Structure 1
Amino acid sequence: MDSWPHPQPLTNRLELVAVPRPVLTALVSGRAAAALPPPLVTPYLAGEECAGLWRMRSMQLSDKPGDAPWVTRFVVVPGVSGAVGAAGFHGAPDQVGMVEVGYRIAPEHRRNGYARQALEILLSVAGSSPDVRVVRASISPENHASRALIQQFAFAEVGEQWDDEDGLETLFEMVLRTQ
């Protein structure tokens, strides 16, 4: 499987592993329990909390197959059974070189540094792509843990937006390179 390793593999071995198209299809169809490889897909990832994510990414990849290398991946930690969550970009860099990060960790695996490590990988991938100039994160004002994480990096608050699925979100951006 295609994976993105942590930029410091000697200290952090977490990886972001691509979700194969058949697995994405099974997640969308609800056949997850019978059709998916048990080593990666957990009840959290196959459950209702992630269902909208998989539907959205499946439709996106049908419309824009070129986004596949960029979008949501499984967060895999050596020694932990099953993926602990999902993380990736919302798509390939847009016309101005912006990518948006997204991450979610299963409740039983939160507060272990996995979201931080996943974000470190995403920032490394974005930083190594000459097409990326800005990294964005959109976070609910009530998501204190995610806001605290973003604020540990060079993100600046740049505004707000309304998301039909998530409601009000605060926008944070990190400039990697200027024109």
Structure 2
Amino acid sequence: MSALLDGDLSEAGRVAGVSLTEYFVTGRARWLWRYRLDQMAADPGQARWMVRQAIVGDKGLVVGHAGFHGPPDEIGMVEIGYSVAPDFRRQGYARSALIELLRRAAAEATVTTVRATISPDNVASLATISGFGFVEVGEQWDEEDGRELVFEVPARPRDPSEACR
């Protein structure tokens, strides 16, 4: 993340073991890397909950990134985040990232609830979480993103038919 923050794609790719695109050093990405590095500096134990590259196929094609905003809170809630590079959108990669995040959350005994916060104008993300049992539980104001709708789903559905589809 430090190399990405410095705009050094070559070094970031070397450390990550995959080739990264400009998507990882433009726009909001720089803000994300700074924020996550600060979180990990404050508590290195949070690193395993942070953002990772979303990689597809045997050749290690990096299509975006996904992860949690941090470890479970005191009631067992984790918030997810995912982003797909523009060249790879509308191909099911966000949905695949969501499935993996839900599986990872369900595998952690301390996680009881998975949260997603989405701008009401983000039709693609709203469609991505559709069909996974997320229920709108409120809204919030985010300093970076503005108004967001708050959705939650149990980490481990009681009814097996409610599991990831």
CA deviation map 1:105-152 (0-9, x unaligned): 000100111000110000001001100000000000000010111122
Cα root mean square deviation, aligned: 1.7
The corresponding residue for 2:22 is 43
Q: Does the 8 Å CA contact 1:28/1:58 hold for their aligned counterparts? A: no
Shift of 1:79: 5.1
In structure 1, runs of 5+ residues without a counterpart are 1-23
The corresponding residue for 2:2 is 25
Secondary structure at the aligned position of 2:136 is classed as: strand
TM-score by length of 1: 0.81
In 2: Cα distance, 1:88 partner to 1:130 partner: 17
Deviates more, 1:78-87 or 1:94-103: 78-87
In 2: Cα distance, 1:81 partner to 1:136 partner: 28
Q: Does the 8 Å CA contact 2:102/2:155 hold for their aligned counterparts? A: no
Shift of 1:81: 6.1
Q: RCO (CA 8 Å, sep 6+): is it higher in 1 or 2? A: 1
Shift of 1:78: 1.5
TM-score by length of 2: 0.87
* 1:92 counterpart = 2:71: yes
In structure 2, runs of 5+ residues without a counterpart are 158-165
Amino acid corresponding to residue 127 of structure 1 in structure 2? A
The corresponding residue for 1:6 is none
Deviates more, 1:49-58 or 1:156-165: 49-58
- List structure 1 runs of 4+ shifted beyond 6 angstroms: none
Q: Does the 8 Å CA contact 2:53/2:65 hold for their aligned counterparts? A: yes
Higher helix share: 2
Aligned residues between the structures: 154
Amino acid corresponding to residue 138 of structure 2 in structure 1? G
Amino acid corresponding to residue 9 of structure 2 in structure 1? A
Deviates more, 1:151-160 or 1:46-55: 46-55
* 1:63 counterpart = 2:63: no
Shift of 1:37: 1.9
Shift of 1:40: 2.9
Shift of 1:80: 5.8
CA deviation map 1:36-80 (0-9, x unaligned): 226332110122231111111111111111111111000001156
In 2: Cα distance, 1:58 partner to 1:103 partner: 17
The corresponding residue for 1:75 is 54
In 2: Cα distance, 1:148 partner to 1:33 partner: 31
